[in-house]
Amino acid sequence: MKGTKSPPGFQEMLSFPLVEALLGRRSRRFFRGAEIPDGVLAFKSRRKELPLTELEKMLVVSACGGNTSWHHLIYRAARYAPHLSNYAGAAGGRTFPSAAGFHTSQTFFTDDDGVYLLEMRDAPAFADRAADGSLDPEAFLANVRQRVRKIGDGRLKLPSEVPFTEPHNTWVFNKPSTLVVIPVGDLSQHVLLNICYMLQNGLVLFDDVHKRPIPGIERFRDIVNVANVWPVTFVEQWSLSELTVELGASCYPGTLMLQAMGLGGWMFNGVDPFAMLGASGDPEAPGLGFRYDTDERWPYPNPTGLEGVMEGYCPPHHPDMRAAVEALCQRKFGPGGPFHPDTPGPWKDSRKVRSAARAHDERFKECVAFQAQYLYDTFGKFPATVPAMFLIMYLQAHHLDLDFYDEFYEPGAYLKTHAAHMERWHPEGSD
């Protein structure tokens, strides 16, 4: 790193082959200090627990959620050409893709010292790309460091035991010395963006739960064919699927980084998502501490956000759905947004490109808010049939105990980077 002496493993990581990372990717769960108490792979580590260094931690988190300069946007749709497509929610790109550039997820993580948020979702590009398309990895990492916000002391309080954790993860998940990356998606915002997308493309919602059009939707005949509909459950399940891909895709670069660095770990979903968000109902297991509501009409609690940290685009974080729509449009078209003329970008004339998108007018916003408010009033929440906040995939990183793999596996169970990790990243020793 600039101004400091980085370990030899850092430069080796920068040149680690992509294909080797792809072919070498495996879930490697047994870490230093771990124990499997019984069964055919029973083993107790003789090594001391070793937390990730600050550099190691930032590299993994950067891979999962770092800014990668400007988002290139979607260029054209025949329905409203020559205007630029205006779907995107963020001007900056990250290490993972998002449906139509919505970018509705945030990256949380925890270790022995605390719980953190990487505030990168609406961050501007940290740098422009060089002529060959490259970015400075040290500047990339420095940008992540600057955007880490600590939101709690000590390791995330979610016991690694049933019912919070699946039985096969109780011995390994969220243990001392491990790093856990937790991408969280704002499904309320994602559904709202998809309602905007639908309206731009000539569609409105149909309440297939109650088998009826949205009462009063005919008042918008002047801007849309109100007989051209998509069912509410389809739109919300589609949005859930899109967001699930985003959350999983944000963890996958982290798994490749583990191979390049020689760290153990794996991506997984074996944790109760509602308990993780804060809706366990157990004060000893507050998780991330999001506020939530319950209702006899709903099969599960509905987490809506964490005040001042990550708030859903729905009540109670907004007075009503019209206010949520206004906030959404401010994100898209306001200062720093992807369609504000003063937001820099990767084009030779970025002002001209960003100005080519039309902002949603009052009639458009009224129609979107009308549909969203109907869902909230009818079902008691927004979205109607899926959670307002959602998570499914996690990445855990830790230092491998090679003794376990040498004891039970044929050679090849870990890569040369794992074999050399302690020497190349911790030359001062640790045992």
Query: What count of other Cβ atoms lies within 10 Å of the Cβ of residue 218?
Result: 10
Tens-digit pLDDT profile for residues 146-205: 999 999 999 999 999 999 999 999 999 999 999 999 999 999 999 999 999 999 999 999
Query: What count of other Cβ atoms lies within 10 Å of the Cβ of residue 387?
Result: 25
Q: Burial of 167 by CB count in 10 Å (0-12 exposed, 13-18 middle, 19+ buried)?
A: exposed
Q: Which residues pair with 205 in a beta bridge?
A: 230
User: What count of Cα atoms within 13 Å lies in the side-chain half-sphere of residue 105?
Assistant: 34
Query: What is residue 203's predicted lDDT score, i.e. its pLDDT?
Result: 97
Query: What is residue 9's predicted lDDT score, i.e. its pLDDT?
Result: 96
Query: What is residue 28's predicted lDDT score, i.e. its pLDDT?
Result: 98
Collect the ranges in the chain with pLDDT lower than 70: 1-4, 429-431
Domain ranges of the chain: 8-425
Query: What is residue 244's predicted lDDT score, i.e. its pLDDT?
Result: 98
State the sign of the Cα–Cα–Cα–Cα dihedral 226, 230, 235, 236.
positive
| Three-state SS at 165 | strand
Tens-digit pLDDT profile for residues 260-311: 999 999 999 999 999 999 999 999 999 999 999 999 999 999 999 999 999 9
Query: What is residue 427's predicted lDDT score, i.e. its pLDDT?
Result: 87
Q: Quote the pTM value.
A: 0.96
Q: Which residues pair with 302 in a beta bridge?
A: 293
What residue type is 275 in one-letter code?
A
Query: What is residue 430's predicted lDDT score, i.e. its pLDDT?
Result: 60
Phi and psi at 270, nearest 5°, equal -85, 45
Q: What is the spatial distance between Cα 246 and Cα 104, in angstroms, rounded to a whole number?
A: 9
Tokens of 153: 């002391």
Tokens of 123: 């961050």
Query: Please, what is the end-to-end C-alpha distance for the chain in angstroms?
Result: 26
Tokens of 225: 């064919």
CATH class of domain segment(s) 8-425:
alpha beta
Contacts of 247 (CB under 8 A, 6+ apart): 105, 183, 184, 185, 390, 391, 392, 393
Residue 333 per-residue DSSP state: H
Q: Which helix (DSSP H) or strand (DSSP E) does residue 351 occupy?
A: helix 350-355
